[in-house]
């Protein structure tokens, strides 16, 4: 029987790049210090590195899916320049109170729902119980916990201070660099 793969799921805003409330353009995209090195470190492990991110800017009418994809292309280009890469990138464009009718809905892919993690699980044949989710908000941690992943709350971005859900992460780290080291040493 083939052994399933493992992943490190990363939230985008506040974990990889500076938190910009409703980031809408690639010009606003700025990596946090040490992120390229941290992702490169994870690339050298047996883990897939996969971004899972809520992008309600689409539902809110602030930008299109194509513009979000352009931001993600820019992110991958920046990471490539730092010898780092992503194995997958999944986003949810929905929000229950969105202004764009097509995207205005509650869904299972919007964290704290587990839909994005489950889609990646299918695409990469992952064992979620051997995987990690690194996030800066309680909705990230709840999604990881509910999917059966080990969870790491980082102090960057919201640092868990959003107060949306009462959850506990398995680990707390200062930033993505410290979280990568933790995973490599477990």
Catalytic residue (one of 11, 136, 140, 175) = 11
User: Is it true that the peptide bond before 150 is cis, omega within 30 degrees of 0?
Assistant: no
Residue 167: CB partners within 8 Å, gap ≥ 6? 138, 141, 142, 145
Catalytic residue (one of 13, 136, 140, 175) = 13
Cα torsion 144, 147, 148, 151 to 10°: value is 0
Active site residue 13: yes
Q: Give, in degrees to the nearest 5, the angle at Cα 146 between 142 and 152.
A: 50
Active site residue 161: no
- Annotated active-site positions, please? 11, 13
């Amino acid at each position: 029987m083939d052994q399933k793969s493992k992943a490190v799921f990363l939230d985008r805003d506040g974990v990889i790049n500076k938190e910009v409330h409703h980031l809408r353009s690639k010009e606003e995209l700025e990596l946090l210090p040490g992120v390229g090195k941290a992702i490169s470190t994870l690339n050298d492990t047996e883990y897939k590195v996969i971004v899972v991110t809520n992008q309600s800017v689409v539902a809110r009418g602030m930008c299109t899916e194509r513009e979000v994809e352009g931001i993600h292309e820019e992110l991958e280009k920046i990471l490539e320049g730092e010898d780092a890469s992503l194995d997958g990138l999944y986003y949810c464009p929905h929000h229950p109170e969105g202004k764009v009718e097509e995207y205005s809905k509650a869904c299972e892919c919007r964290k704290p729902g587990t839909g994005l993690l489950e889609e990646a699980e299918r695409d990469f044949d992952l064992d979620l119980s051997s995987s990690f989710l690194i996030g800066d908000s309680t909705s990230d941690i709840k999604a990881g916990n509910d999917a059966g992943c080990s969870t790491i709350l980082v102090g960057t971005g919201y640092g868990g201070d959003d107060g949306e859900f009462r959850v506990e992460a398995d680990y707390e780290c200062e930033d993505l660099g410290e979280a990568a080291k933790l995973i490599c040493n477990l």
